[in-house]
A and B are shown apart, each in its own frame.
Chain A
Amino acid sequence: MSALPFLFRELLGTIRARSAVAFLLTWLFLFIFLACVSAFFLLVPTHVEPEGGVESLPIVEIRAYLSPRLSSVTIDDLYLDIRERSDVASIQFRFAQELRPQATGGVFLIRPMEPEGAEDLGAILETINGVTEIENVRAEPDQTESPLSGTVRIVLLVVLVAAIVLAFLFARRGYRELLRSFAGEIRTMRLSGVPERVIVPLIVGLGALIGVLAGTLLLVVLFLLHYTLAAPQAAATWAAGLASLGRVLGVSFGNIFLGLILGGLIGLLGVGILGQREFEALP
């Protein structure tokens, strides 16, 4: 029978007021660290729908698809005619297949001189014999500025570093208190021939548990934010990352994994303390 579950319960049972406070603070600072990391992934720049919808965006390119039956001479003539127009800034020929895999024939990529006159230009091009379809390519909607300004990013980085340092400091303090209360048990285990591969996982496991709990708390917080704050209006602005369930899920599970790793590292601090003389089997 493996003694690990029993020993882990006993170790948890040894947590007293002072070590409990230290471990609670470790948990809190790990939570803050993970929250800062999440902010970089969830508060991202987003596209804003223009007031008049996508149709109100200026046309930057007109694609005039040509009939595959047109001869190369006709295409050349058409090319020259369009290029001569005063409302055309530039024209390029491409094979239609380059833009649409199933298409045949050619396509003119025309840049209008003025975006305002592009609608009229498109209408004129549509009437040309041999042009089968006109496609207007509109400008990309403006990106909002990132909700994380340069200053906010610096503050987040400082908080992130401070949080992890404090988490490690409080963890060390917590482990020192806890292991002092558990010293007799560790001596007994070592005296009885319990291998280190049983003792060490207990200590690392406690750190990993704290890390996972910090990640889990953040998962709960992110899901609460997802269902409350990330309403459609908010989704269009700073909380767009929170509106995406997939992103929230990805970040949450990433946090739990990161919490597990950091917690494990914190646990190794405790393992370092085990090397002290007071934990040796024989004085």
Chain B
Amino acid sequence: MIQVSELHFVTEDGIKVLEDVHLHVEQGELVYLLGPASSGKSLFLGLLGAHVPPQRGQILVHGRNVVRLSPPKRLELRRRIGFLPQGFVPMARTVHENVLFKLRTLGNYREQAEEKAILALEATGLIRQQGVSATELSNLDRIRLGLALAICDAPWLLLVDEPLEGLDASEAAEVCAVIDRVHTGHLTVVVATRGPLPALTREHRTVSLLDGRVSDE
């Protein structure tokens, strides 16, 4: 569950990016956060993902108040959050090695990491390309790999930033379908995008971020 209240964020130049933002996301909910370029979507996800230290307001992620977490605890929380950043660039390894690297980095044993990697690649439809060098992937498959990396270690929360950027309509629909597929069980998902969204089959919620404020559409 995510609970954001009275969240403000001002840049070093004094620009108010977020102003009194309130948002409640239930556990297991899939939320699309829509907003124009430079509206603060990436910053908002960075705050939710404990990558950007909050200035004012409260952010509760799975019962943890991000504002009050010590740096080690914040890192601990970050390990439980899958994050696909905007303009994701994979490592210069094969698809399989990319996922394996992240899992081993997080302390998984080799066998355990192998199993989780296969599951993540199956979920994102990349299993047939596991031996392909990640740098040779198409834009669509690169996003799939980013999603596989984000979900491979069973996160509580999945944050996806601009996954539809540079994709055509059919590819965008495919990415949304993959997000639908990985959004199972108790996984909470927040996807930030400029849109437009393709026709979505699964139940979801759409909120918009405009002029620093979040509102339900």
Could you list which residues of chain A lie within 8 angstroms of chain B, going by C-beta atoms? Answer: 1-3, 6-7, 10, 181, 184-185, 187-189, 191-195, 281-283
Contacts and interface: CB of A to CB of B under 8 A. Distances in A.
A191 B101 contact: no
Contacts of A7: 104-105
Nearest to A10: B101
B51 interface: yes
Contacts of B109: 1
Contact of A184 (B51, B89, B107): B89
A188 B78 contact: no
Nearest to B104: A6
A191 B92 contact: no
Contacts of A195: 72, 75
B87 interface: yes
A3 B104 contact: yes
B85 interface: yes
A191 B104 contact: no
B102 interface: yes
A151 B58 CA distance: 70
B154 interface: no
Given A184-B92, A281-B85, A192 B51 contact: no
A188 B76 contact: no
B5 interface: no
B86 interface: yes
Contact of B86 (A2, A10, A189, A283): A283
B89 A192 contact: no
B53 interface: no
B95 interface: no
Q: Which of A6, A181, A192, A283 counts the most chain B CB atoms within 10 A?
A: A192
B86 A193 contact: no
The 9 residue pairs across chains A and B that have the minimum distance between CB atoms: A193-B78, A184-B91, A193-B79, A193-B75, A1-B107, A6-B104, A195-B75, A3-B105, A282-B85
B91 A188 contact: yes
B85 A188 contact: no
B75 A188 contact: no
Interface residues of B, number: 31
Contacts of B191: none
A192 B78 contact: yes
A188 B89 contact: no
Interface in B9-60: 42, 46, 50-52
B86 A192 contact: no
B42 A282 contact: yes
B108 to A, nearest CB: 7
Given A1-B108, A7-B105, A192-B106, A185 B77 contact: no
Given A281-B51, A281-B85, A194 B105 contact: yes
B90 interface: yes
B77 A2 contact: no
A192 B85 contact: no
A100 to B, nearest CB: 68
Given A195-B75, A282-B52, A283-B85, 14 more contacts: A2-B107, A3-B104, A3-B107, A7-B105, A184-B91, A184-B92, A185-B105, A191-B51, A191-B83, A192-B78, A193-B50, A193-B77, A194-B79, A282-B46
A283 B105 contact: no
Contacts of A187: 89
B123 interface: no
B160 interface: no
11 contacts: A6-B105, A7-B105, A184-B89, A185-B105, A191-B78, A192-B153, A193-B77, A193-B78, A193-B79, A194-B105, A195-B72
Contacts of A191: 51, 78, 83, 85
Contacts of B149: 188
A6 B75 CA distance: 20
